[in-house]
Amino acid sequence: MAIANLSTEQQILREIRRQDGNRRAVRIWLGFVLLALFCLVIVGGATRLTNSGLSITEWKPIHGVIPPLNAAQWEEEFKLYQRIPEYEQMNSGMTVDEFKGIFWWEWAHRLIARGIGVIFALPLIYFWITGRVERRLRWPLFGILILGGLQGAIGWWMVSSGLSVRTDVSQYRLATHLVMACLIFASCMWIMRGLSPHSDDPAPTPSSHVWAGAIAAFALFQIYLGALVAGLDAGFTYNTWPLMDGALVPSDLLIQQPAWINFFENPKTVQFVHRLGAYTLFALTLVNMIIALTAAPSTTHARRAVVLFALVTIQAAIGIATLLLEVPLHWGLLHQAGALVVFGFAIANWRGFCGEYPRETMISERE
């Protein structure tokens, strides 16, 4: 009996080591996916800030990988761009060489998006076939792949809004595109964090996980507001801080009718609300840090709360600098990168209260 028990324990230990190796491999893969998604969002931000998003007027998921290769092809691509309102009303004197400058941003953004599809789909197929992906995660990961395909369609839906009447894309569709990117990013982060070892430190309070979830949700909402700011060029309306051109609450926030439309289409109101969102997120993370340090000092949860507050503080400082400098490209990109870092860490912090995914061997053993 003792020998049989020893043999069973050895089998369980071997299975645990095998799962540890599999989890490590999946974490590394998802880490690369997250890095690629981060780059994609930054290049997407550069595409927006350089007004390059409408430079490619057709959606060719396969053939679009190959850019123009000679003068004739460049001329053909440029003629397509010359048909849209953005060229006619804003860039009518543009040369082919100047067109190339905006074309490459949009082309790079689409190429990275296609590349992410490959680096996500192929390893997923391999891990699935070889049994390295745990059963509980197979369909969630497949769901992320489907969301990626949907995101491509949303991207074209966004671009198409600026090809007929408008000289830019719809701020609503831009916000949808960015929020979907963040949801895909969050899903990968959530799963990767769930496959990582977790601390046994108790949560500071019984509601800590709810508080962490609320912070993550509000960070996403703040990114949504930032997308509206970008879509309306609202970053150029008030370039003073802490007041908005001398006023704490400007007088022209509700000039459009009906009043609610100002919160989506009035650049001044959108920037004002984005500022309020930043102050709110700062306050939420400050209170979260104080509670964690008071209730559970020297724990992993308290350290995460400090890091989260520090990231939000740095992001706020970057946002203020970006505003005062009137949104130069590098500062705008740094602000967008900071937003994704804050959101990603908020998701990881939230997942940290849920614990590591239970091991399938342990589930089987209990059953």
**To which residue do tokens 């790079």 refer?**
108
Contact call for residues 327 and 49 (beta carbons, < 8 A): yes
Contact call for residues 262 and 255 (beta carbons, < 8 A): yes
d(CA 321, CA 35): 26
Contact call for residues 343 and 311 (beta carbons, < 8 A): no
Contact call for residues 16 and 359 (beta carbons, < 8 A): yes
Check the annotation: does 274 bind a ligand: yes
The pair of structure tokens assigned to 211 is: 């508080």
The pair of structure tokens assigned to 171 is: 């701020």
Contact call for residues 241 and 323 (beta carbons, < 8 A): yes
Q: Which residues contact 320 (CB under 8 A, 6 or more apart)?
A: 241
Integer distance in angstroms from the first to the last C-alpha of the chain? 21
Tell me the helix, strand and coil percentages in the chain, rounded to 5.
Answer: 75, 0, 25
Q: For the chain, count helices (H), then strands (E).
A: 12, 0
Check the annotation: does 177 bind a ligand: no
Contact call for residues 95 and 16 (beta carbons, < 8 A): no
Q: Which residues contact 264 (CB under 8 A, 6 or more apart)?
A: 171, 172, 228, 270
The C-alpha angle with vertex 314 and arms to 309 and 317, in degrees rounded to 5, equals 125
The pair of structure tokens assigned to 46 is: 């550069």
Contact call for residues 171 and 231 (beta carbons, < 8 A): yes
d(CA 209, CA 227): 27
Q: Which residues are annotated as a binding site for heme?
A: 274, 335
Q: Which residues are annotated as a binding site?
A: 274, 335
